[in-house]
């Protein structure tokens, strides 16, 4: 097994479960925070002693809402990460934060613990859009969070935005992009809203209480996004990711490049490479079960060489830089090339702009 | 019960509109005569195929012998012959009516007489059958038996007092039905002394015994271990066994004039014992067959293709097995550029086609793509040769064609007079030629048209039913071929013709049909990586065009650690769906698209 150099830590707690959210996240379980952090510490110690780890290049606290953890609990975790693992110089340590819980005290704790990149879940500025998404933050809170983060010394900020929300107009999206640009982040993720089965919004849509936005309209939103961010000096390096040069998310890139990532915490996924194949496994999803579990793992899957290679292509072609071609996929890649979805440069195959927008078609071809 | 004198035999059938309770009444008759005990009674004994039970229609005929001790103390031998109730099988109906002397006419006490009942009744009267009128479902809260009895009296000319009141469901009045049958229905005529003549009115294939041939003995006697000749197919067989259905087959020494039963003779295929044929003795038999024999010819053709091309062999085996028991089904291999290897099949009509399709899918677990049904055209070439065309994609070069002829039918519609306007409009739309209008009893009208069969098989029945609120019934018979201005309408996807979507249509209607077809296809063909132009063309001339715009955005917004497995599985499922699509050039076509031609109105 190749050694892990990327670590993901899942924090499942939220103030409120938003209507669009299909992540492994829970509201009203704050009482479990302390035992959950205990369990995480156990898992980290177990992982460090059971799997090969190199110097960590990235650590990522995702959720849920990692910023809901009290300064004491997050400090404990950050310390534990550094005692169990060694981090390479300049390692990227990211934390997802909700503007509502981004306060001076926590910012201070994150800085002290070594967090050097914040991903702020802004999602939007327009009140109606935020209401449809059931976000309990507003533009003013987002602006304040950015100001405080800058004051606390964070030099690498990312903002999350969501587009193609029912009732959202292109004009309002344009204004949202402008307000985000005005906050001068280093990185922006703009996600097209997907109505995932099991979410509140999906049910509303099924009942006919919510209009869907068709893919052509979604594309218009994406176009606005691309032109606004490009002219503001950002470059699109992945389907939903834009950054200033040098500020691409190194952790996220590890997923698209199929590098081994260890995922700790409830529901977290780990990906390991074994020879020409790979193995993926995931932890038990519910916080309570995770806390009382000995082995943490719920299930996993083995990926044979062909499937592992197909995944590398499918994920690698989400990034503008592309991926090394894989032997045995010549016919598929040629078909995609003649369809104008990819181009090949030496041994690298990379998506065209159309190929990025039609990544599912790319994936269907190689899977 | 061999040797029952003819005066103690009654042969009858039950005719009724769908859902008026024919099967329930038949079950009660079996129960009361002890043919089936209440305990072993499977509901609706006579309809044996699952499909029939589900649809409430009778597809295969059956015949059951009932032994009934009448109130007079005499024991009678009754033969109940079941009849299918659909125009596709009108020839089979006519043969089973020919095997009876009487018909129990069942009318729902709440619904009253419906158009279908009339059509059936006229057919029975024409066949010389005595009617035993019954009002069924008198237990229903909405029942109006007296009113319905008056209605029956009016259309049949029988006294209202002769109409029996029955509830088959509650077993009320069942014995009265049997008493009326023995009182009203005449015993069979025919001579035991004359040379054997027996009418084949049905058959079914049994994997162990070969074909069971259902016969009504008209003259003479049919015994086991004799050699018989089928007069129309001129084949000779050695009879293994004769007997009657009770409803299980029970062997007997012989069947004599007036009796109904079966024989087996190691016949491998139902096609070798054709409905309507006459059975006689191989030596010293009758020389003239019973009237009314007709070789059954398919009226409707369609291509059947396995949706998974690996299943071609299974489809061939399944068709072979079905044909053992379905003499009307014909098939031959067909190759389509779009759909691969399959079979061009001939059917009696649309219902027959649907039944075959469903049986293939259900009993043989096959997934099929069916092309739109077509009739058989007759193409007269400049060279004088006549080429039958049952597959539009095989129509000869237009320049070599002198003329194309299409099958015409005489169509009769019986409909309440308020819908006459709507019916005439429909028939005119379908190129019908008006022939005759006649007022019937009960505010009903009989309309006669001559019409291309091709118009009838494209959704005509549904249109007829919907424009008459379900009251119209129809029947048709082939009257020959007539020349018409027919052209082949081709469909091109991204410039490539799709053979399985070609149709032969009337020139005047071609632009309209072309437009509707491309509109439907546009809705059915999913967006692809390329723009897909859809064109309908006659010869080289495009008469309609639509475009499926290319996909613009088809991408998962997020794909991080926890998303990858789930989303990959989602895509793998989608890929499975894609695999089921058919490819023509670069275009992926879902299987439903090939059926789009079915409902263009």
- Tokens for B30? 């079996």
Closest to B412 (Cα-Cα) out of B157, B153, B133, B123: B123
Tell me the C-alpha distance between B283 and B226, whole Å.
9
Are A256 and B559 a contacting pair at CB < 8 A?
Answer: yes
> Residues, chain B, total?
601
Are B553 and A240 a contacting pair at CB < 8 A?
Answer: no
Q: Which residues of A touch B529 (CB under 8 A)?
A: 339-341, 358, 361
Q: Where are the beta strands (DSSP E) in chain A?
A: 4-11, 13-14, 26-27, 53-63, 87-97, 117-123, 157-163, 187-192, 235-238, 241-243, 262-264, 269-274, 277-283, 297-303, 323-324, 342-345, 348-351
Residue % of chain B over a pLDDT of 90 = 58
Q: Average pLDDT for residues A105-123, to the nearest whole number?
A: 98
- Tokens for A61? 């606290």
> Scanning every residue of chain B, which has its alpha carbon at the shortest distance from the alpha carbon of A301?
B565
pTM metric for this prediction: 0.73
Q: Is the peptide bond before A64 cis (omega within 30 degrees of 0)?
A: yes
- Tokens for B333? 């291999």
Residues of A near B (Cβ–Cβ under 8 Å) read: 8, 23-24, 62, 191-194, 215-216, 218-219, 222, 239-240, 252, 255-256, 261, 263, 267-271, 280, 282, 301, 311, 314-315, 318, 339-341, 356-361, 363-364, 367
Q: Which residues of A touch B553 (CB under 8 A)?
A: 192, 215-216, 218-219, 222, 357-358
Orientation of helix A170-182 relative to helix A215-231, angle to 10°: 30
Angle at the Cα of B57 (from B64 to B167), degrees rounded to 5? 70
Q: Average pLDDT for residues A302-321, to the nearest whole number?
A: 96
For residue B204, the model assigns a pLDDT of: 85
Range in A266-270, B128-132, B414-418, B534-538 the model is least confident about: B414-418
Residue A303 has pLDDT above 90, yes or no: yes
CA distances, B528 to each of A362, B312, B449, B531, B548 (Å): 12, 28, 46, 7, 8
Indicate the DSSP class of residue B553. Answer: -
Tell me the C-alpha distance between B403 and B383, whole Å.
11
Q: Which residues of B touch A261 (CB under 8 A)?
A: 561
Are A364 and B575 a contacting pair at CB < 8 A?
Answer: yes
pLDDT tens track for B148-203: 999 899 888 899 999 999 999 999 999 999 999 999 999 999 888 999 999 999 88
* Chain-centroid distance, C-alpha B371: 19
For residue B156, the model assigns a pLDDT of: 87
Nearest-neighbour CA in chain A from B579: distance (Å) = 11
Asked whether B95 and B28 are in contact (CB, 8 A), the reply is no
Residue in B555, B558, B562 nearest the CB of A360: B555
Q: Which residues of A touch B562 (CB under 8 A)?
A: 23-24, 263, 267-269, 282
CA distances, A201 to each of A123, A166, A191 (Å): 16, 10, 16
Q: Average pLDDT for residues A99-115, to the nearest whole number?
A: 97
Question: Binning pLDDT at 50, 70 and 90, where does residue B96 land?
Answer: confident
Residue in B554, B562, B571 nearest the CB of A267: B562
Q: Average pLDDT for residues B447-472, to the nearest whole number?
A: 90
pLDDT tens track for B345-369: 999 888 889 889 998 998 899 999 9
Tell me the C-alpha distance between B27 and B171, whole Å.
10
Could you give the ipTM of this predicted complex? 0.92
Residue found by looking up tokens 């009418």 in the block? B199
Tell me the C-alpha distance between B273 and B324, whole Å.
11
Any A CB within 8 A of B552 CB: yes
> Scanning every residue of chain A, which has its alpha carbon at the shortest distance from the alpha carbon of B550?
A216
> Scanning every residue of chain A, which has its alpha carbon at the shortest distance from the alpha carbon of B556?
A360
For residue B514, the model assigns a pLDDT of: 94
Q: Which residues of A touch B574 (CB under 8 A)?
A: 360, 364
Are B557 and A268 a contacting pair at CB < 8 A?
Answer: no
CA distances, B379 to each of A144, A164, B503 (Å): 83, 57, 15
Residue B1 has pLDDT above 50, yes or no: no
> Scanning every residue of chain B, which has its alpha carbon at the shortest distance from the alpha carbon of A362?
B555
For residue A80, the model assigns a pLDDT of: 98
CA distances, B270 to each of A358, B248, B321, B325 (Å): 56, 20, 11, 5
Q: Which residues of B touch A255 (CB under 8 A)?
A: 559-561, 564
Higher pLDDT, B49 or A164: A164
Q: Which residues of B touch A218 (CB under 8 A)?
A: 553
Count of CB pairs separated by less than 8 Å, A with B: 96
For residue B56, the model assigns a pLDDT of: 43
Residue B401 has pLDDT above 80, yes or no: yes
The domains located in chain A, with CATH, are 4-255 (3.20.20.70), 306-367 (1.10.10.10)
Residue found by looking up tokens 């097209």 in the block? A192
Are B557 and A359 a contacting pair at CB < 8 A?
Answer: no
Residue A47 has pLDDT above 60, yes or no: yes
For an interface test with A, which of B527, B548, B555 has the most A Cβ atoms less than 10 Å from its Cβ? B555
For an interface test with A, which of B553, B556, B559, B575 has the most A Cβ atoms less than 10 Å from its Cβ? B553
The chain-wide mean pLDDT, for chain A, equals 96
A63: left (phi over 0), alpha (psi -120 to 50) or beta: beta
Asked whether B432 and B450 are in contact (CB, 8 A), the reply is yes
Q: Average pLDDT for residues B329-349, to the nearest whole number?
A: 93
- Tokens for B10? 């009654």
- Tokens for B385? 């040769």
pLDDT tens track for B261-311: 999 999 988 888 888 999 999 998 888 899 887 777 888 999 999 988 899
> Scanning every residue of chain A, which has its alpha carbon at the shortest distance from the alpha carbon of B561?
A269
> Scanning every residue of chain A, which has its alpha carbon at the shortest distance from the alpha carbon of B569?
A367
Instruction: Output the furthest CA–CA distance in chain B (Å, rounded).
Output: 91
- Tokens for B482? 């007539």
Asked whether A295 and A24 are in contact (CB, 8 A), the reply is no
Residue in B558, B565, B574 nearest the CB of A364: B574
Q: Is the peptide bond before B292 cis (omega within 30 degrees of 0)?
A: no
Which residues pair with residue B211 across a beta bridge?
A: B205
Are A363 and B529 a contacting pair at CB < 8 A?
Answer: no
Q: Average pLDDT for residues B99-103, to the nearest whole number?
A: 95
Nearest-neighbour CA in chain A from B340: distance (Å) = 22
Are B555 and A261 a contacting pair at CB < 8 A?
Answer: no
């Amino acid at each position: 097994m190749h050694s892990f150099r990327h670590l993901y830590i899942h924090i499942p707690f939220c103030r409120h479960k938003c209507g669009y959210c299909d992540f492994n996240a829970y509201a009203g379980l704050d009482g479990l925070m302390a035992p959950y952090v205990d369990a995480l510490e156990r898992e980290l110690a177990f992982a460090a002693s059971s799997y090969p780890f190199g110097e960590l290049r990235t650590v990522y606290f995702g959720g849920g809402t990692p910023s809901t953890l009290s300064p004491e609990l997050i400090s404990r975790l950050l310390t534990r990460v550094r005692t169990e693992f060694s981090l390479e110089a300049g390692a990227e340590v990211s934390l997802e934060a909700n503007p509502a819980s981004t306060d001076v005290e926590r910012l201070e704790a994150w800085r002290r613990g070594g967090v050097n990149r914040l991903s702020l879940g802004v999602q939007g500025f327009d009140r109606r859009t935020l209401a449809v998404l059931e976000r309990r933050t507003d533009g003013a809170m987002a602006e304040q969070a950015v100001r405080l983060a800058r004051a606390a010394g964070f030099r690498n900020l990312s903002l999350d935005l969501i587009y193609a929300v029912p009732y959202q107009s292109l004009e309002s999206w344009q204004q949202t992009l402008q307000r985000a640009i005005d906050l001068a982040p280093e990185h922006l993720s703009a996600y097209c809203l997907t109505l995932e089965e099991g979410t509140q919004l999906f049910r509303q849509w099924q009942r006919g209480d919510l209009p869907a936005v068709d893919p052509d309209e979604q594309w218009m939103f994406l176009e606005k996004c691309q032109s606004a961010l490009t002219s503001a000096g950002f470059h699109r390096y992945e389907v939903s990711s834009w950054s200033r040069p040098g500020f691409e998310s190194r952790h996220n890139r590890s997923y698209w490049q199929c590098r081994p990532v260890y995922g700790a915490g409830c529901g977290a996924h780990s990906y390991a490479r074994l020879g020409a194949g790979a193995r993926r496994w995931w932890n038990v999803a519910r916080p309570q079960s995770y806390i009382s579990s000995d082995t943490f793992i719920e299930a996993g899957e083995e990926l044979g060489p062909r499937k592992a290679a197909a995944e590398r292509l499918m994920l690698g072609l989400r990034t503008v830089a592309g991926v090394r071609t894989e032997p045995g996929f010549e016919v598929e890649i040629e078909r995609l090339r003649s369809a104008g979805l990819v181009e090949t440069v030496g041994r690298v195959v990379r998506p065209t702009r159309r190929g990025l927008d039609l990544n599912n078609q790319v994936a269907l071809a190689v899977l | 019960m061999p040797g029952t004198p003819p005066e103690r035999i009654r042969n009858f059938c039950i005719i009724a509109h769908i859902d008026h309770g024919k099967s329930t009444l038949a079950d009660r008759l079996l129960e009361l005569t002890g043919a089936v005990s209440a305990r072993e009674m499977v509901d609706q004994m006579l309809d044996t195929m699952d499909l029939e039970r589900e649809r409430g229609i009778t597809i295969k005929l059956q015949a059951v012998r009932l032994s009934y001790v009448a109130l007079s103390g005499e024991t009678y031998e009754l033969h109940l012959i079941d009849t299918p109730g659909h125009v596709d099988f009108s020839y089979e109906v006519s043969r089973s009516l020919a095997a009876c002397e009487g018909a129990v006419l069942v009318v729902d006490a709440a619904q009253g007489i419906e158009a279908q009942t009339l059509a059936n009744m006229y057919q029975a009267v024409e066949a010389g059958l005595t009617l035993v009128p019954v009002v069924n479902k008198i237990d229903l809260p909405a029942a109006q038996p007296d009113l319905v009895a008056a209605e029956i009296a009016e259309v049949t000319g029988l006294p209202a007092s002769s109409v029996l009141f029955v509830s088959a469901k509650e077993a009320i009045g069942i014995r009265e039905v049997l008493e009326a049958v023995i009182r009203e229905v005449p015993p069979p005529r025919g001579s035991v002394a004359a040379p054997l003549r027996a009418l084949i009115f049905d058959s079914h294939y049994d994997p162990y015994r070969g074909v069971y041939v259902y016969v009504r003995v008209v003259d003479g006697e049919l015994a086991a271990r004799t050699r018989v000749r089928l007069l129309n197919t001129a084949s000779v067989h050695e009879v293994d066994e004769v007997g009657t259905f009770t409803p299980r087959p029970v062997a007997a020494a012989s069947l004599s004039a007036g009796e109904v039963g079966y024989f087996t003779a190691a016949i491998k295929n139902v096609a070798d014992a054709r409905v309507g044929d006459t059975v006689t003795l191989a030596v010293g038999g009758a020389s003239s067959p019973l009237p009314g024999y007709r070789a059954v010819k398919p009226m409707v053709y369609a291509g059947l293709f396995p949706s998974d091309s690996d299943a071609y062999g299974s489809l061939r085996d399944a068709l072979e097995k079905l044909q053992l028991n379905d003499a009307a089904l014909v098939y031959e291999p067909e190759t389509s550029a779009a759909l691969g290897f399959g079979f061009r099949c001939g059917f009696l009509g649309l219902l027959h086609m649907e039944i075959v399709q469903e049986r293939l899918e259900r009993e043989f677990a096959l997934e099929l793509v069916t092309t739109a049904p077509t009739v058989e055209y007759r193409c007269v070439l400049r060279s004088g040769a006549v080429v039958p065309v049952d597959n539009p994609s095989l129509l000869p070069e237009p320049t070599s064609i002198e003329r194309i002829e299409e099958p015409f039918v005489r169509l009769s519609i019986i409909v309440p007079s308020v819908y006459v306007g709507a019916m005439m409009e429909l028939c005119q739309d379908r190129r019908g030629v008006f022939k005759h209008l006649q007022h019937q009893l009960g505010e009903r009208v009989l309309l006669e048209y001559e019409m291309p069969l091709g118009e009838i098989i494209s959704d005509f029945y549904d249109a007829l039913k919907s424009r008459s609120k379900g009251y119209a019934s129809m029947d048709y018979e082939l009257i020959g071929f007539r020349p018409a201005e027919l052209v082949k309408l081709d469909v091109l996807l991204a410039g490539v013709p799709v053979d399985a979507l070609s149709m032969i249509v009337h020139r005047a209607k071609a632009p309209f049909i072309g437009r509707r077809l491309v509109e439907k296809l546009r809705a059915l063909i999913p967006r692809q990586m390329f723009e897909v132009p859809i064109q309908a063309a006659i010869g080289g001339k495009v008469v309609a065009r639509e475009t499926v715009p290319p996909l613009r955005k088809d991408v998962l917004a997020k794909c991080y650690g926890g998303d990858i497995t789930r989303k990959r599985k989602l895509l793998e499922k989608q890929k499975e769906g894609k695999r089921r699509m058919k490819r023509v050039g670069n275009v992926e076509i879902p299987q439903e698209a090939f059926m789009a031609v079915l409902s263009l109105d």
